[in-house]
Amino acid sequence: MEAKKLIHQDNKGVENIHKDLKKIKPLLVNMLTGYKSLEMGDFSDKVFQEIKKGGLRNMEQKYLRNIESQIKKVGITSSLIKANLIKGSNDIFQKFKDDVQNVISFRDYHRGFNDNTPFLKLEMIDYVGGSFMITEETEAKFIEEHCKVYLETEQQHKIYEAANKFLDGFKELISELEAVGYRGAMNVNSIAEYFFHAKDGQYNLKPHSIKSAIEQDVIYKQRLKEFGTREQKRAQAAKERQERLK
């Protein structure tokens, strides 16, 4: 069995998710501010993980129990005052829920043309040392999953080697064609069409293509010379006509 082999790595995706983090950060800060307004203790990564897992219901129940406990402590007996306090508390928590929803539903990330790197996911963000960030561990995992390309099977190794042989042969053919002044387009499709014909799914070399490719530059220069000669003759004839009209 062939060993696992790294054949490509492009960390552009890492740069992109850090840009994504900058875009969503203001919403995360709003959410943090909303949490602080609940006075439920310090915001921590544990709290953030609970939010990401959809734990707002338990958080809301805990918050309302705390409000009811505070109301009892101060000895408020008026039903109207209690109702107003609870309503105001519910409004505060609803604002926090809205802030959380803004974070969860945020999709305003952008990629350039032909850039298929993944967007940042909320699960990739942690709250560490008072800041929202992408940890080194998360970044390393992202690189492994999205920035590296490995060969892992015997078949993959064989196709990779065959493709590289094809590429080397194509480069050698381009070099030889340039040396003889080949005038056709230098891309795989054009060269394949010029030198090969397909029949029943099989490609075969066109017998006359080799000589024709070599003669292209000679024919081109000959025609260019003939064209120049004709132009010179036309110019001379025009000059003679002008002389006769004088």
Q: How do the domains of the chain map onto residue ranges?
A: 10-150, 154-245
Question: What's the pLDDT score for residue 234?
Answer: 66
Alpha carbon distance 135, 18 (integer Å): 11
Alpha carbon distance 70, 76 (integer Å): 9
Contact 163, 155 (CB under 8 A): no
Alpha carbon distance 90, 83 (integer Å): 10
Integer angstrom CA distances of residue 151 from 5, 62, 139: 5, 51, 22
| Helices within 74-197 (DSSP H only) | 79-104, 136-142, 154-179, 188-195
Contact 125, 76 (CB under 8 A): no
Interval 134-142 mean pLDDT: 97
Q: How far is CA 196 from the centre of its chain?
A: 36
Question: What's the pLDDT score for residue 103?
Answer: 95
Tokens 């990739």 found at = 124
- Mean of all residue pLDDT scores within the chain: 87
Report pTM: 0.72
Quick one: pLDDT band at residue 228, thresholds 50, 70, 90? Answer: low
